[in-house]
């Protein structure tokens, strides 16, 4: 007959008599080599010499609006969102079936929250969107940049 195994509590004896103690050491006042927070959080932006950069200063960063309208007509607007690197078509009213078919055929995605048709912007899609905008405007109107 095989032997019975001892329960795990009896097999592994742990000595709980030794206790560990932790000693807290006071932090030393040392300057880190790099600030942990960006400098602009602690105060206004400054130049390397320590001069405060005013909002109207030419050295001040002006990021501007990431969206730029390229073609604007009475029916639609075509632009580029540089933040998301997309070309965007927005229509005043629901576009015709031919326009919708052209957008879907070329891979545009409809963004319901923005009410816009978008496609990632690269050299090919920029050329494509310029051609589509000219097609949607009609032959009499040219592109206005």
What torsion, rounded to 10 degrees, do the Cα atoms 105, 106, 107, 112 define?
Answer: -80
Strand partners, 97: none
| CB neighbourhood size of 81 (10 A) | 17
| CB neighbourhood size of 128 (10 A) | 16
pLDDT string in tens for the chain (145-residue length) = 677 776 665 555 555 566 667 676 666 665 555 555 554 455 666 777 777 766 665 555 666 788 999 999 999 999 999 889 999 999 999 999 999 999 999 999 999 999 999 999 999 999 999 999 999 987 655 545 5
């Amino acid at each position: 007959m095989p032997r019975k195994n001892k329960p795990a509590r009896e097999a592994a004896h742990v000595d709980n008599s030794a206790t560990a103690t932790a000693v807290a050491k006071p932090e030393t006042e040392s300057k880190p080599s790099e600030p942990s927070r960006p400098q602009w959080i602690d105060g206004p932006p400054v130049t390397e010499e320590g001069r405060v950069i005013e909002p109207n200063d030419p050295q001040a960063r002006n990021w501007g609006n990431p969206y730029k309208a390229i073609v604007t007509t009475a029916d639609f607007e075509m632009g580029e969102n540089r933040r998301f690197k997309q070309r965007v078509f927005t229509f005043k009213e629901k576009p015709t079936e031919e326009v919708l078919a052209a957008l879907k055929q070329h891979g545009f995605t409809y963004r319901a929250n923005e009410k816009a048709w978008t496609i990632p912007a690269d050299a090919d899609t920029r050329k494509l969107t310029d051609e589509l905008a000219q097609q949607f405007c009609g032959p009499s109107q040219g592109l206005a940049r």
